[in-house]
Chains A and B, each alone.
Chain A
Amino acid sequence: MSGIPLDAVHGPDGGEFPGQYPYTRGPYASMYRSKLWTMRMFAGFGTAPDTNRRFHDLLRAGGDGLSTAFDMPTLMGIDSDDPRALGEVGRCGVAVDTVDDVADLYAGIDLGSITTSMTINAPAAVVLAMFVANAEAHGVTRARLGGTLQNDILKEYQAQKEFVFPPRASMRLVRDTITFCTAEMPRWHTISISGYHIREAGSTAAQELAFTLANGFAYVELARDAGLDVDAFAPRLSFFFNAHIDFFEEIAKYRAARRTWARWLRDRYGAKDVRSHQLRFHTQTAGVSLTAQQPEVNIVRTAIEALAGVLGGTQSLHTNSYDEALALPTDDAARIALRTQQVIAHETGVANVADPLGGSWFVEQLTDEVEARAESVFAHLLDLGSGSMLEGVIRGVEEGWFQSEISDAAYDFEKRVNRRRRIVVGVNDFFEGNDADEPTLLRITQDDERRQVERLARVRAARDERSVADALTRLRVDAADPERNLMPALIDTVGTRATLGEIMNALADEFGRYVETPRI
C-alpha cells in the first residue's frame, strides 16, 4: 500500500526458491502473481436441478471452478428409492441415480472450459463413467474434460468410512480409472489424495501428512505395477489437505508435503518429469473447528484457516460457511465464505510474494519436524508391507492400524478440550452469546426426497430394460476378469440408464462387500 517495491519472492543468494526442487517453497516460481488460487466452492444438496442453480450462483458470484458434493446414498452406491436411503436423499449433497441426473447437475455449464471436481470414492468409477457419457452426449469429447475425481478409497477405510467393496477390489477400480484416464483423458486429475477426512476424523497435522502421502505412494505403486510409466500418470495426481486452526503448523505441513513428495517421487520412484515431483493441492478449511455455539465466530476461524492455506501455497481453496456445524450452508452463508477468499486475495496483499514465511526459523524448523514425523510413519508402513508401501497401507487398513491411530488422537484432543487444556471459544470458555437463537438454516425436506424418487421412477419407466440387463451382464463378466479395464463397460452401462445402485450391486456380486470390525 505504501508503494514499497516487492520482489516475487525473497530469499538469500543460493537459497532454495519456489519452482525449484524439492519445491518446499511452492510448485511454481511466481506463485499467485501469475495465477491466483482457484476459488473452488463445494456444493451439493437436494436434487440435481437444486444444485445446478447453486452452481450457477457461485459462478456468477466469481467462483471459478465447481466442486460437487453427493448425498450419502450416492456415496454408498445406493439408489434414492432403496429403503436404506430413506431420510438421506439429498441431505448431505446432491442425489445422483442415473446419467440423466448428471445431465441436470451440469446443465448450462461449459464442461470444456469450467473444471469440475467430484467428491466421490467407492462408486467413483461409475460416476466418472456418467460424467463422460453425459459430456459426450452434449458434444464435449472426453479428451477435453478437465477436473478431478476424488477417487481416494484408502482414506475411506481409514477415516471417512464410505466404502462398499473390500480394499483390494476397490484398488482394482482405482487402477482402472488411472489407466483409462492416462490413455484417454489427458486433462483429468485421476485421484485427489485426501488428508482432509483423515484430519476431520481426528488425526494430528503430522498424521494427516504422513497417512496422505503414504496413500499417494501406494497409488503410485499400484499404477506402476499395472505397467504405467510413473511420469505418464504422476503429474495427474493431486492432493487435498485440511486447513485447521493451528496456523503455523498447517503452513509447515503444506511445505513439508511438497518436499517429501518431490523426494520420494524422484528418488524412490524414479520420476524424471518435474510435474511428477511438484505436489499440487486443494485446501478446505476445517469443518471440525466450527462450533455450533456462537456460529458467527466461525467466519473468523475460517478466515484464519484460509490464510494458512494461502501462505502455504495452495492451488485451490474451499472456505466453509459459518452455519455448517448446524446444517448445510444457506446461500448467504456460502457467499460470505467466498467473500472471505476474495478479501484475502484482493485486499490483504498476501498473494504478492511467494512463500512469505520461508526462512522463518520457526516455520522452517516446524517444517523439518513434521517431515521427520511423516518419515517415521513411512518406515512403519514399509515394514508392515515388507518393503511395499502399497501392501503396507492395505495391511494397515485391514489390521485397523490407521483407524486406531486416528481415534486415539481424536480422544486425546477431546480430553484436552474437556479439561480446558485447550480453549475453544464458546465451547469451554467465553460463553456469553451462546444463548442467542440459531441462524436461519437450510432445510432439506422429505419433499426433495419424494421428487428424486419420482424422477428415478420416470427414468426407469422410459428405458429399455433389455439393454440395461445386457449391459449389466457384460459388466459382471468384465469384473470377473481382474486384467480387464472396467471403464469401457461402465460407460456403456450408464448409457442404458442403468442406475448407480444396479451397477454397484452387479460389481458387488463379483467383489463382495466390506464390513468394518467395530473398534472403539
Chain B
Amino acid sequence: MSGEPEMNRRGRILLAKVGLDGHDRGVKVVARTLRDAGFEVIYLGLFNSPDGVAAAARDEDVDIVGISMLSGAHLTLAPAVVDALRQIDVDVPVVVGGIVPDGDLTELRAAGIAAVLTPGSSTDEIVATLEGLCR
C-alpha cells in the first residue's frame, strides 16, 4: 500500500479461492505470511471463476497468481485458470496451494502450473518458490 512502496518490491501476488470450496484458513495465512515477507498481496476472496481470476490478474498487473484448493477439484479448475489467462494473453505463472495428491503433480505441471505447494510447506519454502517465479 502507499507509504511503504519499498517494502513491496519483492513482487505483486494475486491470491484467490476458485470454485465452490469455502476453506479459506490456508489462503489467508499464506496471504499474511507473504505480506509480512514483503510481497504485495491482493486477495480476491471466495468463489471466483477462472475467468474472474484471469481478469483480476490482468487488471492488477500481478507477477504471480496463487489459487488455493482443498476440495479435490484442482485437476479441473487449476488448468482452467491457466487457460483463462492464455485466452486474454496474460503471461503470469500460476501456483496451486492446498491438498494435491502426489499422483496429480505431473498432470498439473503438464497443464502449465508453475508450482504446487502442499500442506506442511514452510514459510521459507513458500517465499523462496514465489520469489524464484517473480524474477
Please report A residues at the B interface, Cβ cutoff 8 Å.
72-73, 75-76, 78, 84-88, 91-92, 156, 160-163, 200-202, 288, 291-293, 325-328, 407, 410-411, 414, 418, 426-428, 437-438, 441, 444, 446, 516-520
Contact = CB atoms under 8 A, between A and B. Distances in A.
Contact of B23 (A76, A161, A518): A161
B81 to A, nearest CB: 12
Contact of B20 (A88, A327, A441): A88
A328 to B, nearest CB: 8
Contacts of A163: 22
Contacts of B75: 87
Contact of A92 (B32, B43, B72): B72
B25 A516 contact: no
B83 interface: no
A418 B25 contact: no
Most buried by B among A325, A411, A516: A411
29 contacts: A72-B20, A72-B21, A73-B20, A75-B20, A76-B20, A87-B75, A88-B71, A92-B72, A156-B22, A161-B46, A162-B20, A288-B25, A291-B119, A292-B99, A292-B120, A326-B101, A327-B72, A410-B28, A414-B33, A418-B122, A427-B120, A437-B102, A438-B101, A441-B101, A516-B46, A518-B43, A518-B45, A519-B43, A520-B41
Interface in B72-88: 72-73, 75-77
A200 B25 contact: yes
A132 B29 CA distance: 41
A326 B72 contact: no
B22 A161 contact: yes
Interface string B52-92: 00000000000000000001110111000000000000000
**The 6 residue pairs across chains A and B that have the minimum distance between CB atoms:** A87-B76, A161-B22, A518-B45, A91-B72, A72-B20, A87-B73
Dominant SS at the B interface? Answer: loop
Nearest to A292: B119
Given A72-B21, A88-B20, 9 more contacts: A72-B19, A72-B20, A84-B49, A87-B19, A91-B72, A328-B72, A407-B28, A414-B29, A516-B46
Interface residues of B, number: 34
Given A326-B99, A428-B122, A518-B44, A87 B31 contact: no
Contacts of A85: 20
Interface of B: 19-25, 28-29, 31-33, 35, 41, 43-46, 49, 71-73, 75-77, 99, 101-103, 118-120, 122-123
Most buried by A among B45, B49, B75: B45
A410 B32 CA distance: 11
A85 B49 CA distance: 11
Nearest to A437: B102
Contacts of B25: 200-202, 288, 407, 410
Contact of B76 (A76, A86, A519): A86
A150 B89 CA distance: 45
Dominant SS at the A interface? Answer: loop
A91 B73 contact: yes
Contacts of A325: 99, 119
Contacts of B22: 156, 160-163
A84 to B, nearest CB: 7
Contacts of B41: 520
A84 B18 CA distance: 10
Contacts of B24: 161, 201
A438 B118 CA distance: 13
Given A516-B46, A520-B32, A520-B35, A418 B123 contact: yes
Nearest to A72: B20
Contact of A520 (B20, B28, B71): B28
A72 B19 CA distance: 9
A162 B41 CA distance: 24
Given A327-B72, A516-B45, A293 B20 contact: no
Contact of B73 (A88, A201, A328, A427): A88
Contacts of B20: 72-73, 75-76, 78, 84-85, 88, 162
Contacts of B71: 72, 88, 91-92
A520 B46 contact: no
Contacts of A201: 23-25
A368 B35 CA distance: 38
Contacts of B118: 292
A32 to B, nearest CB: 34
A95 to B, nearest CB: 12
Nearest to A162: B22
Nearest to A325: B119
B120 A293 contact: yes
Most buried by A among B23, B24, B31: B24
Most buried by B among A160, A288, A520: A520
B23 A438 contact: no
Nearest to A408: B32
B47 to A, nearest CB: 8
A213 B75 CA distance: 39
Contacts of A78: 20
Contacts of A156: 22
A411 B119 contact: no
Contact of B77 (A87, A288, A414): A87
A444 B46 contact: no
Nearest to A202: B25
A437 B103 CA distance: 10
Most buried by A among B28, B31, B77, B102: B28
A88 B122 CA distance: 28
Most buried by A among B20, B99, B102, B119: B20
Given A88-B71, A325-B119, A411-B32, A518 B19 contact: no
Contacts of A520: 28, 31-32, 35, 41, 43
Nearest to B19: A88
Nearest to B31: A520
